[in-house]
Structure 1
Amino acid sequence: MNLKPLALFVKHDGMSSRASVTCRYKCGNACAHNVPNESGGEYFGDIVKSAMTRRGLLRGSAATVLAVGAGSVLAACGNDTATAAPDSVDSGSLGSGSATGSGAPGTVFSPVAPNKQDAVVVPEGYEQGVVIRWGDPLFPDAPAFDFDNQTAAAAEKQFAFNNDFAGLLPIEGQPNAYLLVVNHEYTTEPSMFRGYDPENPTEEQVRIGWANHGLSVVQVEGEAGSGRLTPKFGRYNRRITALTEFTVTGPAAGSDLLKTAADPTGTRVVGTLNNCAGGVTPWGTVLSGEENFNQYFANTDKVTDPVAAARLKRYGLEGEASERKWERFDSRFDVVAEPNEANRFGWVVEIDPWDPTSTPVKHTAMGRFKHEAATVHVTDDGTVVAYSGDDERFDYMYKFVSSRKMQPGNSSGAMRHNMTLMDAGTLYVAKLTGDDPAAIDGSGKLPASGVFAGTGQWIPLLRTGEDGRGESLVDGMTADEVAVFTRLAGDKVGATKMDRPEDFEPNPHTGKVYVALTNNTKRGEDGKAAADTANPRNNNKNGQVLEIDDQHAGTSFTWNLLLVCGDPATADTYFGGFDKSQVSPISCPDNLAFDPHGNLWVSTDGNALKSNDGLFSVVLEGDRRGETKQFLTVPVGAETCGPIVDEKRVIVCVQHPGETDDASIESPSSHWPDGGDAQPRPSVVAVWKSGGGRIGL
């Protein structure tokens, strides 16, 4: 279904549209809890030892646990309490330039209007098709999906739940054939099981949840003359789950901080959790970020050692039983029974999709935090630079610079070497300075220069040598501590507190690096960091996109804000200097991608403008810099994830469709993608130009 372009200055009360049920299962109600980063530039461990008693620390930890219901307002992850928007939201008109479908190469399409439709809505002249859905079989012996008769054994052979990142890798020698690699971030059990009791899940439901985390690798075949993709039972197909074994590499491998009863060596981890965004490497592997892993662990309130408790709290581990109650069926999810198990999550993992028998890797040299992603830039001399954001309010931006050089080619030897690139090098955290900090008053008002801009430094935290041994570059912390408690290292060196740094993406055309900063309604609150030039609004509901001109292998950079998101009709928004009457409203940027022309594409999560989330093109160069146009919207309750934009198709992962607080299995708020009275199913969608042709031309 297509919507004619409308412009689109939506009135809103400023709260995220993310449902409270999504907050519970996606991030463990992160925005309802106290901000984990309480640092003021001093090492948090020192603060604990010198200023907190054990009794006071435990009391403070318990006080942060909040009961969240459908009527709660959860700040940036909040419940949208405004009247539901109509199917089409119209409060004006875009200027004629955008409305007629003109634009820079790659962005020539008529923008889609904000709306509340239960559909993927695409521009006029484009078609779409579902590639694969939750439960679709990946192997010939996998059963067809049966919502009311799920089993863990079946789920391990089916496409899993809540798809996030997507990578599309061409298969050499097979025209129009690809590997589709997809992350599965989290499970929403009340949407998966009829009659689900959150206080008493069954063991089979828990095991189905384990099977629905991780990644899927599936061969897909393109269709001549369109962008349609069809899954195949190919030899590369694979499921990676919460029960798949991983190898640990880097300076924390073998550390006492990673050893458990099941793994006394500290080198083998079972499973990967909460895999959010990711990146495809130039050598053909996939990097996946473990994000909100904290929510899977129970009984933090029973930890009596103040230093251990402070470390857990800094990573958002709080409270008694976990939401999913996994600890009832596997003691490793109980931090009292296995104090180090949580330390084995929060890493960048690397998957070789070309070898279904390969053991995936967790790279500890890249640091442990809530990795949104890891994306790679290769310098002219072969140095590999991997960027990653820590998706939490007031947390930091990082990069890892390899000491080894990438080997070109796709030989087995080159692959083996290149999969060690993230095991030797230096980990840095970012500190930003604004050009005119006195001009920032928290309102979002532009400085007199007309841009939000400044300089920055990459502060070294950890150096890992060729022998895999780490050297701490932070006073008072060992190399193991920096690797495992990287947030604390960032606290100690005074890194800049950002507004939820999510996807990092280097532009393959210019080398500039872009960061989605989703939102932060705690910015400027009493006791919290006030607005600064890179985060210029207090109570930041709509987020911004940062542009970095980096030395890559060096330690200095310049930066500016490309977008300050929100309703273009309001004074606190900025679109790279472009005419705000000629852009689509955009709120809560999350994932980023580039098209073949070098334009940035932005997907959103939690649109605070009272319409469905979507995917937007943004021009980066020339006199149209900052022109922002909505290419599609996703169904009711859904989030737009994993964008891929190439010459012939756009791919998005539609995550948690129908996830609204008034929905139930008996009364779904969405029937997408199957229609009728079907239950909603997270799915991957491809969009292409009718009759073929190139996207955006």
Structure 2
Amino acid sequence: MAKDFSTMEDSNRSGNASLHELSDPTRRNVLRGGLGGVLASLLAPLSLSGCAGLSEARRSGIGFASIPVSTADTVSVPAGYTTQVIAAWGEPVGLAGAMPAWRDDGGHSAAEQAAQMGMHHDGIHYFALDGSQRGLLVMNHEYTDDGLLHADGMKTWSAEKVAKAQAAHGVAVIEVQLQDGRWQHVRPSRHARRITASTPMQLGGPAAGHALMKTAADPDGRRVLGTFNNCGSGITPWGTYLTCEENFIGYFHGPERPDAHGRRWGLKKDGSGYRWHEHDERFDATRHPNEPNRHGWVVEIDPLDPASTPIKRTALGRAAHEGATVALTKDGRAVVYSGEDARFEYIYKFVSRDAVKPGGAKANAELLDHGTLYVARFDADGSGRWLPLRHGEGPLTAANGFADQGEVLIKSRQASGLLGATKMDRPEWIAIDTASRDVYCTLTNNTNRGADKQPAIDPANPRSDNTMGHIIRWRDDGDFDGTGLRWSHFVLAGDTQNARADAKGNINGDAFGCPDGLWIDGRGVMWIQTDMSTSAMGKGDLAKLGNNVMLAADPATGAIRRFLSGPSGCEVTGVTATPDGKTLFVNIQHPGESPSERSDPAAPTKFSRWPDGGRPRSATVVVRRVDGGVVGT
């Protein structure tokens, strides 16, 4: 989301013990790369392991020269690579009989927006239909800038504008095909689909039907309208897409003085200024106090079945979810790791009760509804524990406000605080090296440590004025379902030329700040994407870092090189590849972002006119090698 880091949510006032011994940030384990091992058999349609063109490149590491820091309003990549823009905001997704054209004046209607690409592309995945030649791109649309979205910005406000904003959120499913060396958006397509903030969905898992999920419109507490603020994503071994609801609470209008539950989730009067409640009363929590509880979940979508109903999987816990990354245990059970992008919040993992079954989405339709949710504690000696969020165990009892397992999951933040989980510096994307069984998580930044009665530094979060962020790494004991872990820092982001100790970092290679997106490709190369706040770019610790970027890291050596620089004001977020590794799809979000976008439609154009010289638009960038080789080699 438009991340002015000075105003981000910081609602965790639990009294968890804080640790004060600094860890050694230079520790490194030698890792092995690539998707493979236990995932290969079940992830075969989605995996990059064993694909033509990758086997010979698997050990070759990073094979390109770094690009320089850039402040240009363009996408830059190394020599020998080409870029192509597809699927920009406002292009028709490809629904039969609904092909509304983009209008640069912002004059398209709510109904037209519901058939077009949404705003602010984020998490993305390529689902192969015909190997690396044809497939589906499924991507998130995180939020809206109403100044850009509407012809007159927010000079007026109406039910139509609320409907249009809701239609610009959610998820898009589009078909793409490689023809003569360029990727084409296939329209119409029977797979094309838009999922928005108004799409009917089901609730699954222990919180479905709970008293805290029931509303006047849904007295059974099992059906909900819409998903929004969709940030990171994940894929499952049975071929479905996981989209994650992040900063959902800002869409709700709350009371002047929220109760303890509302305060813990950041509910406040007028939210973050979206004003949806003025024309859609379900976003008025003073009238519908349970409606916020129905959001903040991981949503499962079957992209191959456009008639399927998305399901919010409550067993995975309620949080400001950044992403959901799936591994498999040796006995075939699913493990879903997720981070919560807010200051002093937590890292979670869910372990399914049952093993994954052959037969795709239908055979595993309830797999994510049954299992155990854990929250992480990182200890000073480099060890840690996964603490189970199970009703009746330890403090998670009715006496402490948890009547049953459903309430534990709805109040996962409160439960995690009582268990003594480690408060983290905005945990975001998680990537898994299935060959080494190492798990990585980006921690974007946190300048509030030690302020306003918040904890000071601890071993896992070792900088008090953390403007630069870091990447933590752990390995669960025995298997991915292990309850113990060993952890270290993969890298502390920063600039070795910075005079301030907390901003230097320990990067072996190109400087960067605020790591966010994270993905490990089929060769084991780690791709790191940055999200420096637009309001902070070019200032203070970030002054010399230019625009947001995507970098490649070799986990075995720690070497990091800058691969792609985005246009002015953007965030670089979301990356996926074709099975042969010869095409990367990278999302560019909010080019031209400025603090006044929501009220002034002209403001962003002062900073960017990417990608086509008019109103700035989020879009997907296709990256390929000129010689047709594997990207990154």
Scaled to the shorter chain, the TM-score interval is 0.7 to 0.9
Distance, in Å, in 2 between the alignment partners of 1:120 and 1:655 is 12
Task: State which drifts further: 329-338 or 660-669.
Answer: 660-669
Question: Deviations 1:488-528 (Å, cap 9, x if unpaired)?
Answer: 00010110000000111212332211100000000122511
Q: 2:15 aligns with which of 36, 40, 52?
A: 40
Q: 1:567 to 1:168 in 2, by over 3 A?
A: same
Question: Deviations 1:171-207 (Å, cap 9, x if unpaired)?
Answer: 1x56611110000000010122232226x41221111
Distance, in Å, in 2 between the alignment partners of 1:144 and 1:311 is 44
Contact 2:134 2:178 (8 Å CA) reproduced: yes
- Which aligned pairs between 1:512-551 and structure 2 lie closer than 5 A? 512-551=438-477
Q: 2:76 aligns with which of 121, 125, 128?
A: 121
Residue in 2 that maps onto 1:59:
none
Is 2:152 aligned against 1:202?
A: no
- Which aligned pairs between 1:25-424 and structure 2 lie closer than 5 A? 31-32=6-7, 35-41=10-16, 105-138=60-93, 139-140=95-96, 141-148=98-105, 149-171=107-129, 173=130, 176-197=133-154, 200-224=156-180, 226=181, 228-301=183-256, 303=258, 309-320=259-270, 323-408=273-358, 411=359, 414-424=360-370
Distance, in Å, in 1 between the alignment partners of 2:59 and 2:323 is 29
Is 2:575 aligned against 1:638?
A: no
Q: Structure 1 residue 30: deviation in Å?
A: 7.1
Paired amino acid for 2:396: V
Q: 1:118 to 1:345 in 2, by over 3 A?
A: same
Residue in 1 that maps onto 2:601:
665
Is 2:562 aligned against 1:587?
A: no
Q: Structure 1 residue 169: deviation in Å?
A: 0.6
Q: 1:272 to 1:189 in 2, by over 3 A?
A: same
Q: Structure 1 residue 648: deviation in Å?
A: 0.5
Q: 1:174 to 1:503 in 2, by over 3 A?
A: closer
Q: Structure 1 residue 155: deviation in Å?
A: 0.7
Q: Structure 1 residue 147: deviation in Å?
A: 3.2
Distance, in Å, in 2 between the alignment partners of 1:526 and 1:260 is 36
Distance, in Å, in 2 between the alignment partners of 1:229 and 1:499 is 40
Paired amino acid for 1:560: S
Q: 1:30 to 1:564 in 2, by over 3 A?
A: closer
Query: Where do 5+ consecutive residues of structure 1 fail to align?
Result: 1-17, 24-28, 43-101, 304-308, 436-453, 464-469
Q: 1:567 aligns with which of 474, 484, 495?
A: 495
Question: Deviations 1:457-490 (Å, cap 9, x if unpaired)?
Answer: 0000037xxxxxx999723323222110100000
Other structure's SS at 1:495 match: coil
Contact 1:176 1:221 (8 Å CA) reproduced: yes
Residue in 2 that maps onto 1:686:
622
Give the ranges of 4+ consecutive aligned residues of structure 1 lying more than 6 Å apart after TM superposition: 470-473, 573-576
With normalisation by structure 1, the TM-score equals: 0.78
Q: Structure 1 residue 660: deviation in Å?
A: 2.3
Q: 1:507 to 1:672 in 2, by over 3 A?
A: farther
Distance, in Å, in 1 between the alignment partners of 2:249 and 2:632 is 41
Q: 1:350 to 1:662 in 2, by over 3 A?
A: closer
Contact 1:228 1:688 (8 Å CA) reproduced: no
Q: 1:433 aligns with which of 376, 379, 385?
A: 379
Other structure's SS at 2:212 match: coil
Q: Structure 1 residue 429: deviation in Å?
A: 0.4
Residue in 1 that maps onto 2:406:
480
Q: Structure 1 residue 535: deviation in Å?
A: 0.6
Q: Structure 1 residue 230: deviation in Å?
A: 3.4
Query: Where do 5+ consecutive residues of structure 2 fail to align?
Result: 18-56
Other structure's SS at 2:606 match: coil
Paired amino acid for 2:122: D
Contact 2:339 2:348 (8 Å CA) reproduced: yes
Distance, in Å, in 1 between the alignment partners of 2:343 and 2:283 is 25
Contact 1:635 1:670 (8 Å CA) reproduced: no
Residue in 2 that maps onto 1:616:
551
Is 2:485 aligned against 1:557?
A: yes
Question: Deviations 1:91-145 (Å, cap 9, x if unpaired)?
Answer: xxxxxxxxxxx99724111111111100011111110001210010122422111
Q: Structure 1 residue 654: deviation in Å?
A: 0.5
Distance, in Å, in 2 between the alignment partners of 1:672 and 1:281 is 37
Distance, in Å, in 1 between the alignment partners of 2:270 and 2:87 is 37
Other structure's SS at 1:266 match: coil
Residue in 2 that maps onto 1:466:
none
Contact 1:104 1:619 (8 Å CA) reproduced: no
Other structure's SS at 2:163 match: helix
Other structure's SS at 2:352 match: strand
Other structure's SS at 1:462 match: coil
Q: 1:666 to 1:252 in 2, by over 3 A?
A: closer
Distance, in Å, in 2 between the alignment partners of 1:41 and 1:330 is 38
What's the Cα RMSD here?
2.3
Task: State which drifts further: 474-483 or 207-216.
Answer: 474-483
Distance, in Å, in 2 between the alignment partners of 1:538 and 1:671 is 34
Question: Deviations 1:555-584 (Å, cap 9, x if unpaired)?
Answer: 0010110010010234546877xxx5x611
Q: Structure 1 residue 229: deviation in Å?
A: 4.7
Distance, in Å, in 2 between the alignment partners of 1:321 and 1:490 is 24
Question: Deviations 1:634-673 (Å, cap 9, x if unpaired)?
Answer: 1001000101245102221100001124775346134443
Q: 1:662 to 1:114 in 2, by over 3 A?
A: farther
Higher relative contact order (CA 8 A, sep 6+): 2
Residue in 2 that maps onto 1:81:
none
Paired amino acid for 2:445: N
Contact 2:250 2:271 (8 Å CA) reproduced: no
Question: Deviations 1:393-447 (Å, cap 9, x if unpaired)?
Answer: 1111100000110013xx3xx4223231111110000011122xxxxxxxxxxxx
Q: 1:541 to 1:242 in 2, by over 3 A?
A: same
Distance, in Å, in 2 between the alignment partners of 1:459 and 1:402 is 15
Q: Structure 1 residue 282: deviation in Å?
A: 1.4
Distance, in Å, in 1 between the alignment partners of 2:491 and 2:301 is 33
Contact 2:577 2:585 (8 Å CA) reproduced: yes
Contact 1:227 1:692 (8 Å CA) reproduced: no
Paired amino acid for 1:236: H
Contact 1:119 1:672 (8 Å CA) reproduced: no
Distance, in Å, in 2 between the alignment partners of 1:550 and 1:407 is 24
Contact 2:473 2:487 (8 Å CA) reproduced: yes
Q: 1:572 to 1:274 in 2, by over 3 A?
A: same
Q: Structure 1 residue 310: deviation in Å?
A: 1.2
Residue in 1 that maps onto 2:632:
696
With normalisation by structure 2, the TM-score equals: 0.86
Distance, in Å, in 2 between the alignment partners of 1:300 and 1:619 is 49
Distance, in Å, in 2 between the alignment partners of 1:481 and 1:255 is 8
Distance, in Å, in 2 between the alignment partners of 1:598 and 1:380 is 20
Paired amino acid for 2:152: G
Other structure's SS at 1:685 match: strand
Q: Structure 1 residue 550: deviation in Å?
A: 1.4
